[in-house]
Each structure stands twice: as structure tokens, then as C-alpha cells.
Amino acid sequence: MSETRRRRRSEGRARTYRNARRLGWLFSVLVTVAVLCLVFFIWLYPLKIVDESMAPALSSGEVVLCDRIGKFIRMPERGDIVLFSTKDGLFIKRIVGMPGETVELVEGHVFINSIPLDESSYAVNYVGDMPPVEVPAGSVFVLGDNRDEMYDSRLETVGSIPFDKIQAVLRLRVSPFSRITYFS
């Protein structure tokens, strides 16, 4: 075999390997884009907090990721922060009452079936009273942590939130970086 023929063959192999590396790199980029699209368009929903109704847990300007699939794996429970829809838009609040329970506010403190609910880890202020309300089957009673802001289940126009109106469960605060938090 002549030297020229060997050189052409090795140049051809080198070109084939370069093309294979380029295709491998392109495939990796496409897979990464596909996974990110799956994550952010189907599974996790990014949301910027625009008010102080969930302060101090969530403050205005923070960015959170809400899990749209998790609600099908595990039913939301008391204490979970959920994203729900009403005719007025999307809202984010904490579940305090479960189906079949009676929820009451006395001097701003929540009572579930006449037993006080321990909210010391998240409620900022306690304002107002509310007569006992029974949570219907298939629904939850939600309140904001900052009870001065009142777009929650205390309003007749909102009421108890049916499970099918819950869009997602809050999972992660991603901004600001100093407050990154995972919500279980």
C-alpha cells in the first residue's frame, strides 16, 4: 500500500470521526433541549410572586417552581402551598382545611373541628373572625400566611377550592439565590 493511499485513508477516517463527534454534540444539545422543554412546559411551572399574601414564606419578587405532576402522585395535604385557578386568575395559598373538616377563625386563629391549628412556623399575623365552615368533599380550604391580604377561602367568591382547580403544588424557591428552599 502506498504512502499516499494510507494518508488519504487516515484523512478520511479523521473526517468521519470529526463528523461523528459533531453529530454526537448536536444529539446531546437536542436531548438537553427536549428534557428542559419537558421539565418547564409539562412538569414544573415557574411563577413570580407578585404580592405579600404569603409573607414571610414567600415575598413579592421571588421566583418559585410549582410541580404540576406531583398532585397526581400524592394528594395535597394540610400545610402544602398550592397554585389554584379562579375566574380572577392564578393564586398561591396554603391548605389549612381538608375535605369534611370544619374550619373556623377566632381572633385570627384557625380552628379545625374546634381544635386550634398550630401555625407558629408560618403565619405572621392573626386578624379577623369567621364562623364555622364545613369543607365539602373533594375540596380544600386555603388561607394566605399574611392574613391581612384576603383573597382566599374566606371570601364567598373563592370559597373552598375543588381539587381539580389546583394547578400545582409549590416545590422550590429558586430566586433570590440566598433564599433557595425546597418545599416538601
Residue 152 parent element (H or E): none
Asked whether 76 and 95 are in contact (CB, 8 A), the reply is: yes
Q: Is 53 a catalytic residue?
A: yes
Residue among 93, 139, 153, 160 flagged as catalytic: 93
d(CA 69, CA 138) in angstroms, rounded, equals: 18
Cα gap 58→61, rounded to integer Å: 9
- Which residue in the list 53, 139, 153, 160 is annotated as catalytic? 53
Owner of C-alpha cell 409549590? 170
Nearest to 167 by CA among 68, 46, 48, 58: 68
Does residue 114 have an active-site annotation? no
Four-residue CA torsion sign, 73, 184, 43, 53:
positive
Active site residues: 53, 93
